[in-house]
Amino acid sequence: MNKAIIVTGGAGFIGSNFVNEWLAQSDVQVINLDCLTYAGNMENLSALKEDPRHVFVKGGIGDSALVSRLLNQYQPYAVINFAAESHVDRSIHAPEDFIQTNIVGTFRLLEAARIYWNGLSSEDKANFRFLHVSTDEVYGSLKKDDPAFAETNRYEPNSPYSASKAASDHLVRAYHHTYGLPVLTTNCSNNYGPYHFPEKLIPLIIANALADKGLPVYGDGQQIRDWLYVADHCSGIRCVLEAGRIGETYNIGGWNEMANIDIVHTVCALLDEARPRQDGKSYREQIVFVTDRPGHDRRYAIDASKIEKELGWRPAETFATGIRKTVQWYLANPEWVANVQSGAYRDWVETNYAGRNQ
């Protein structure tokens, strides 16, 4: 069997966690294709600098010639597609990149994979997998008492981000039904953990709290998300890659629904304990309620019983253990946060928060 995998978007938050964990457990070489947008960060991969099992290639999934060259050169048995524009707020301000990367990019990656796969021996063809990493946001928004999202829920994406991910999921599905490409799709809930870019809620709250800035909570803070520690998402993906049924989709989630305001309170309490404010007050004092996100989905919740029943996967962390590790990681890595808070990051903060009433 071929002894390499291609991971796209492996310098981002989840992709870098995946690559680091993969190579901690396996000697199968990783070809990491990432074009290093603002969200891609080589520091996330610093532990692999001298490691010959990790080959980093700077480039985009939409570059068909490059992708074909990598496929033919390294003969991978799997492509795992993390590459995406991933931030809902940015998709509201500037949707174009989301269409280009998430839809056009995924299409080109699929097309290159199909051509490569067609040329493989029958044994390698049977072993090949294209695993597409997607999101629970494609299912839309739940009401308070609705059952959690199952794989059979209809797609009802509400933001340019989720619509672009939904489109990419449909293309992946079509490549299986039309061409027989052996695909797998995972739809996961909100991740948190090390290397999470501080434009997203949890790392933003930690960074702002420590910098004595406001902690912006959109609307009434009662929106619900289902939080999963990133290492658990990565183990779920490995499980689906190894044993998932071809053509199937698997929801991955933490069985952990929480309102945003409760997330913020939990982070504040952990920081109060680990790094108390000099004035003895709680970091909660810094919370500010700001204008809501347009079209803000009210509730997401994942029913992860299919992956548990079929593949025996369950998350290893509870929210209590995962969020403690996460806060500790950010306290131990202030230079990582400082380095990503570049000029471009400051421009984004200005764009997203300046117009919001407080």
Which positions touch ligand NAD (CB under 6 A)?
8-9, 11-15, 33-37, 39-40, 60-62, 82-84, 86, 101, 105, 133, 135, 165, 188, 190-191, 197
* Nearer residue to ligand DAU within complex by CB, 112 or 205: 205
Q: Which helix (H) or strand (E) holds 230?
A: helix 230-243
Q: Which of 20, 91, 106, 135 contacts ligand DAU by CB under 6 A?
A: 135
For the chain, helix (H) and strand (E) counts, in that order, are 14, 13
Q: Which of 11, 109, 204, 237 contacts ligand DAU by CB under 6 A?
A: 204
Closest approach of Cβ 229 to ligand DAU, in Å?
Answer: 14
Query: Please, which residues have CB within 8 angstroms of residue 160's CB and are 6 or more apart in sequence?
Result: 91, 92, 95, 98, 99
Residue 204 interface partner, choices ligand DAU, ligand NAD, none, CB cut-off 5-8 Å depending on type: ligand DAU
Query: Please, which residues have CB within 8 angstroms of residue 208's CB and are 6 or more apart in sequence?
Result: 214, 215, 216, 286
- State the residue number with the nearest CB to ligand NAD: 12
* Nearer residue to ligand DAU within complex by CB, 201 or 271: 201
In total, the chain counts a number of residues equal to 358
Residue 260 interface partner, choices ligand NAD, ligand DAU, none, CB cut-off 5-8 Å depending on type: ligand DAU
- Angle subtended by helix axes 64-74 and 106-118, to nearest 10: 40
Q: Which helix (H) or strand (E) holds 234?
A: helix 230-243
Residue 223 interface partner, choices ligand DAU, ligand NAD, none, CB cut-off 5-8 Å depending on type: ligand DAU
Catalytic residue among 116, 139, 161, 195: 161
Q: Which of 87, 90, 176, 233 contacts ligand DAU by CB under 6 A?
A: 87
Is 10 an interacting residue with respect to ligand DAU (CB under 6 A)? no
- The residues with which 259 forms a beta bridge, in sequence order, are 224
Closest C-alpha to 266, from 227, 309, 305: 227
Residue 13 interface partner, choices ligand DAU, ligand NAD, none, CB cut-off 5-8 Å depending on type: ligand NAD
**Cα torsion angle, 322, 204, 102, 30, sign:** negative
Site for ligand DAU in 269-298 (CB under 6 A): 293
Concerning whether 137 is annotated as a catalytic residue, the answer is: yes
Distance CA 12, CA 195 (A): 8
Concerning whether 161 is annotated as a catalytic residue, the answer is: yes
Is 236 an interacting residue with respect to ligand DAU (CB under 6 A)? no
Token pair of 256, please?
């952990």
Concerning whether 89 is annotated as a catalytic residue, the answer is: no
Count of other CB atoms within 10 angstroms of residue 38: 16
Token pair of 328, please?
């500790």
Q: Which residues bind ligand DAU (CB under 6 A)?
A: 86-88, 135-137, 189-190, 200-201, 204, 216-218, 223, 225, 260, 293, 300
Active-site residue list? 136-137, 161
